[in-house]
A and B are shown apart, each in its own frame.
Chain A
Amino acid sequence: MRHGLQWLPVWRRNFLVWRKLLLASLVGNFGEPLLYLLALGYGLGAFVGTVQGMPYIVFLASGIVCASAMNAATLEGTYSAYVRMAIQQTWDGILATPLGVRDIVFGELAWTGTKAFINAVPILLVAAALGAVHDWRALWVLPMVVLIGLSFGAMALVVTAFARGFDFFLYYATLVVTPMFLLSGVFFPLQGMPEWVQRGAQLLPLTHAVAIVRPLMTGQTLTQVAAHLSVLVAYTAGGFLLAIRLFRRRLVL
């Protein structure tokens, strides 16, 4: 029984539900980042001209890929996971089977990584079609968006472990996710910001995600890969372990 893949049915359950609602969720999750990319990329890009020596839409596309991975994983790890835990009692049902809290958290985390992949890859394809992808090195973005999803999914699950209602997620969205969205180099280079903002941004996982994905998509030189990756891995591992502890305290009474 203990073969290390007990969590897979938890992931699969979410996957099967997603597949049933395929069209609606694709339109919803894919449409918004696409609008950002086109409206800002072309609209704002006409005024901005070039950024770091590249057309604005090329600069922006890599940021939007990262942001859409973040948003997809965050949404899945907060609202959707909360519905399964507290509203539908899906997790209570699972806990009556041989699976434990760790299997649930792992399955849910794997699913947030999957959702990030599902939502970010179409953006990557659109960017490629628009000529905003430099070369085949961009294929490395595929595993990267999964890692980005896992790190934000793990953080989101920690938040969900404390949540007593949907309102709680508004604090997280407003105080953490939105500032990160704006201050991680998705829309503009951080060099123009005050020194303390730049330093603070180094704590944000999205900054490091962009720092890897942008060079991969635009053909810039990749620097400090290990450092950037280790920040994302640390958020993933730390969030995962903390989420298990917190959910155990909440679910196993």
Chain B
Amino acid sequence: MVQVDGLSKRYGERTAVDGVSFSIRRGECLGLLGPNGAGKTTLLRLVLGTAIPSAGQLRVLGRAVPAQAGLVRTQIGLVPQADNLDPDFSVVENLYTYGRYFGLPKAKLDAQIPALLEFAALAERADAKIGDLSGGMKRRLTLARALINDPQLLILDEPTTGLDPQARQLIWRRLRQLLAQGKTLMITTHYMEEAERLCDRVMVMDKGRILATGSPAELIRTHIEPHVVEVYGAGVEPWLVQLGEAAAHRVERAGETVFCYARDERPLLESLSRAKELRFVHRPANLEDVFIKLTGRELGVMG
């Protein structure tokens, strides 16, 4: 579906994408995780052919991009990071207008649009103005718009950022429906939960490079200890020096909280059971732990 070899993109001195290679199989959902400025959006633009690579090869749906990008885009749907719906048009008018950019005839749009409105749960709001829609509705309309050409590959740039939990879950259900229909998804996200729930495979990116690739379970298994004990409270420092550091396999700090990673959690829990002044949470390691281990705990540079 997508085949990328040694792809780089430089803007002057800055390297946004630095020699990445990966592929996406038909029908899979690939997640792109990374701090802001990691190069995720640039990578999506390269796949779409709206950015020109500085080096490397890129084939999408069997064709070379950017050389044949126009043709390839007939088979791609994009949900951009910021909604760019047409504010002068109603919900349905947005769909018709966008469909015409793909050269789709009116009869085809007439047939397709009611189903898309249904899919986006916007059938009742078909004639609403864009300004009157909630954030979740706008995102669903953007998703419906991206499906107007019945694309094989759907590219989603942070599809649920800024949405409330209900709105997010509805988007997730729709994306799972699309996967069940055999569509291929490429999705960037800041939400580990989103990646764990939706993605067959996840790529962790930072500073333009791919740091790790694998299924969420694989990444957790290979990159991190299975147990995490988060400890906080007034006496956390002395406890750490006396007992914690010896009992944990690896320790990280984030403000007041100490994260203890361990293959065997029992020594940690035992020592904590004697330290009454400390509070702690014991949980299995998750994708966020992997992400933080790979990309660092400090804030990424915005870019």
Contact = CB atoms under 8 A, between A and B. Distances in A.
Contacts of B103: 1, 6, 9, 98
Contacts, number: 71
B73 A97 contact: yes
Contact of B51 (A17, A21, A253): A253
Interface residues of A, number: 25
A99 B97 CA distance: 13
Interface stretch (A28-36, A85-93, A113-121): A85-93
A24 to B, nearest CB: 12
B273 interface: no
Interface in A6-53: 6, 9-10, 12-13, 16-17, 20-21
Contacts of B117: none
A55 interface: no
A225 interface: no
Contact of B98 (A12, A21, A92, A97): A97
A96 interface: yes
B102 A252 contact: no
Interface string B149-179: 1000000000000000000000000000000
B293 interface: no
Q: Indicate the member of A13, A17, A93 with the most B CB atoms within 10 Å.
A: A93
Contacts of A90: 84, 86
A100 interface: yes
Given A16-B93, A88-B87, A90-B84, A97 B11 contact: no
Interface of B: 11, 42, 45, 48, 50-52, 70-71, 73-74, 76, 78, 80, 82, 84-89, 93, 97-98, 100-103, 149
What 6 A-B pairs come out closest when comparing CB atoms? A89-B84, A9-B100, A97-B101, A96-B78, A17-B88, A93-B84
23 contacts: A1-B71, A1-B103, A13-B97, A17-B86, A21-B88, A88-B86, A88-B87, A89-B80, A90-B84, A92-B80, A92-B84, A93-B80, A93-B85, A96-B50, A97-B98, A97-B102, A97-B149, A98-B70, A98-B73, A99-B70, A253-B11, A253-B45, A253-B50
